[in-house]
Structure 1
């Protein structure tokens, strides 16, 4: 693996407005200091060391970097949903079809979480028909992770610690103040070190594509309509504070020591792991291929992208048979049925209504992030 030391130097100040927060430390709030116990995740009795993938746990404290005070990026704790953003006097930005969203379909409910909101809040503590769920997005890694919002079997709220590990969002839970890696969905320091969250399927799509595939979808309404962990808050939701960052070769806020140079660090990839094999599928080769039928270890998968650049990966095994997919315009076809790329649902034919299982545990993300957390990864087409 060709790796070298990489210093982030381009576009850091303007790109990281959301990551760094726009509020100063709260006077008298010990949680906003670097030395506070709840911020660092230190406990009196440090748990025995364990592992999460290739990483030893707990993560050493000196590997954590402070990007913002605790809760300066205020997680959403009281989400409000609607058909769109019209009719809310507090919302001064129009929801456009081109806006990217994290899409979640669970228990018969479809919801969209615009990145225009998540860039500024990063965490939404939600409930689907009584089921506690946390929706997270790290703008620095371009990664969305959705999971059951349970700690030790009990519902909990997650907040933004303001710390980064490997340029990724570090969350904290309000029950134990343990620190959690967003990409790993694992506690990396504190009382719960080694505990993991149960992941739920999610995708990153455009609002236009998501609502076309989910006509009954709800969409998250920005604060101050939705409430945050710090009460009524609002941000410049019409502004993407990460535009220059997403277009540059910079990584994080300068704390990544190495980068896998096999692709540009901000290349969008969808990653699949199975049987000890990790493989990344970059957007451009997948788009050019139209559809990719592949096997990751013993897992048969199909990978495709929409015209808007939504990457999707599914297990191509249906009723015990492995299907071979072809491209048919804006849908896929196999075994007499046409399949929606965004949802994986068969639209007609003998499999009508059947939904393919997702092959990826996490959303598409930037190449550097996938490679950091899967250092032995292969790349489709290479």
Structure 2
């Protein structure tokens, strides 16, 4: 059996007490799957009208769980930003940085502007509606450790997304105000309602630390917590966003348990899908190897950890030629002498300076539980 590992620094930031497990007012999740004793959506199994990634849609109501009422987790609708959190008032007794360098963030760069979305906020609100070079949707599911960034549109028109209180395959289910359709975060598609089968247009993002993102993007802004940012429930401030752990005791977002695949559910993995094949790379295995050169469905890939404690996967082709990489002083070294940044895949010197490797993964790193619930046939590297 694979030994249980300590999560990487970034993944550890996702195990705080929050989000899908209970309301942002501290209300525990209803283990019976009903909001405040009310009925679960009883949509009967319907004739499929669309298929997304081998999933027939719409999903039946019996596949959805409703631990919380709609909007109990308050999506952010008017985000506010600043260069850092230094201007915020620290809670009594807090004498450390309010947003330390190792705090995990989702980073987005679009239209020449960079912004960071701390998990200290996303853990409690899960959905941020905003604009950055166009309508922007930033989402995070604490149960799956998954961050998905997309265009905030339905039918080509901007709309507001909220937290439905439902879960599908243990993942965040959103709704849109325009049509009331339900959207799966990890499937990135509408799974019930008028827009069933529609897909979100995904945008690139980084799952990294605040210090690493700020160093890479000196002019970045960072999301401010409520009451500075407004939510669907107003500007109430109900959480200690400055503590990576909740002051509530005993309420966890699920439990880290060993699965039948031999991995623990909260093992941090980056996964690659290609040519009908899928492979997940556990953090510990990649860190121990330094660099993994592999093939997935015929696609040559290189997988590595990043300086901030994350993971990255790239197509290991340079100038049309398949290349082997090795670890070198915190970077990647390829034939020809160029050194490549692990976090960005960009060559920093040598004959390929300025060239950037193509990403091999569509989805960001996440917990094994989140990935395997949507991709059960995935191979595990090293097994």
- In the alignment, structure 2 segments of 5+ residues that lack a partner are 1-14, 28-34
1:21 aligns with 2:23: yes
- In the alignment, structure 1 segments of 5+ residues that lack a partner are 1-13, 26-31, 252-258
Alpha-carbon distance in 1 for matches of 2:344, 2:375: 26
Q: Which 10-residue stretch deviates more, 319-328 or 132-141?
A: 319-328
The verdict on how the C-alpha distance between 1:85 and 1:343 changes in structure 2, with shifts beyond 3 A counting, is same
Identify the residue that residue 255 of structure 1 maps to in structure 2. none
Identify the residue that residue 10 of structure 2 maps to in structure 1. none
Alpha-carbon distance in 2 for matches of 1:24, 1:205: 27
Identify the residue that residue 353 of structure 2 maps to in structure 1. 352
The verdict on how the C-alpha distance between 1:94 and 1:34 changes in structure 2, with shifts beyond 3 A counting, is same
The two structures have a TM-score, normalised by structure 2, of 0.84
SS at match of 1:371: helix
Contact 1:209/1:342 (CA < 8 Å) preserved in 2?
no
Contact 2:16/2:123 (CA < 8 Å) preserved in 1?
no
User: Displacement of 1:50 after TM fit?
Assistant: 2.5
Identify the residue that residue 273 of structure 1 maps to in structure 2. 273
Identify the residue that residue 368 of structure 1 maps to in structure 2. 369
Alpha-carbon distance in 2 for matches of 1:42, 1:106: 39
Identify the residue that residue 63 of structure 1 maps to in structure 2. 63
Identify the residue that residue 189 of structure 1 maps to in structure 2. 192
1:175 aligns with 2:178: yes
Contact 1:201/1:358 (CA < 8 Å) preserved in 2?
no
User: Displacement of 1:52 after TM fit?
Assistant: 2.4
Q: How many residues were matched structurally? A: 352
Alpha-carbon distance in 1 for matches of 2:18, 2:132: 31
Identify the residue that residue 114 of structure 1 maps to in structure 2. 118
Identify the residue that residue 208 of structure 2 maps to in structure 1. 205
The verdict on how the C-alpha distance between 1:141 and 1:60 changes in structure 2, with shifts beyond 3 A counting, is same
Contact 2:18/2:123 (CA < 8 Å) preserved in 1?
no
Identify the residue that residue 249 of structure 1 maps to in structure 2. 256
The verdict on how the C-alpha distance between 1:24 and 1:141 changes in structure 2, with shifts beyond 3 A counting, is closer
Matches within 5 A, 1:257-296: 259-296=259-296
Identify the residue that residue 28 of structure 1 maps to in structure 2. none
CA displacement 1:143-165 (0-9 Å, x = unmatched): 11111112111111111111111
User: Displacement of 1:137 after TM fit?
Assistant: 0.3
The verdict on how the C-alpha distance between 1:246 and 1:174 changes in structure 2, with shifts beyond 3 A counting, is closer
Alpha-carbon distance in 1 for matches of 2:214, 2:347: 17
User: Displacement of 1:212 after TM fit?
Assistant: 2.3
Out of 123, 129, 153, the position equivalent to 2:127 is 123
Contact 1:283/1:309 (CA < 8 Å) preserved in 2?
no
User: Displacement of 1:111 after TM fit?
Assistant: 1.7
